[in-house]
Copies of this chain bind each other. A is one copy, B any other.
């Protein structure tokens, strides 16, 4: 068994969501979960079929994001993994609906940070074992940092 890194640069103003599911219907169900979540959302979805033709299955309502998702999924090439790029919406708006899709197993990341997907490859195939999402922690927030964080969340209207 050997380990490998696939790097994902998230396009400007986009976010990426990486997870696993288990059926080619996943791409249509994820499509519907996303259009149900936010009016005006733009996205591309790709899913690595894990048997038969083993194709990267893809859907979306933005050709560019659909192409990026497809190419990155082929690079990842881990059976039953999926990758989604979204624009005009944030992961917080869609993650609940994605977790409820009946085929979805787990979510590895939902982020706008540079992402490294850590992959194991065996004779049989490939699997995700984890991700490096953004950067290493530098310290613990202090009183002043907490105040700034709270004010920021209230200023952008997420908290009262």
Contacts and interface: CB of A to CB of B under 8 A. Distances in A.
A43 to B, nearest CB: 11
Contacts of A37: 37-38, 93
Contact of A105 (B70, B93, B95, B153): B95
Interface centre among A118, A128, A135, A157 (most CB of B within 10 A): A135
Contacts of A25: 92, 153, 158-159
A24 interface: yes
Nearest to A103: B92
B55 A137 contact: yes
Interface string A82-106: 0000001111110111011011111
A77 to B, nearest CB: 4
Interface string A37-77: 11100000010111101111111010000000011011011
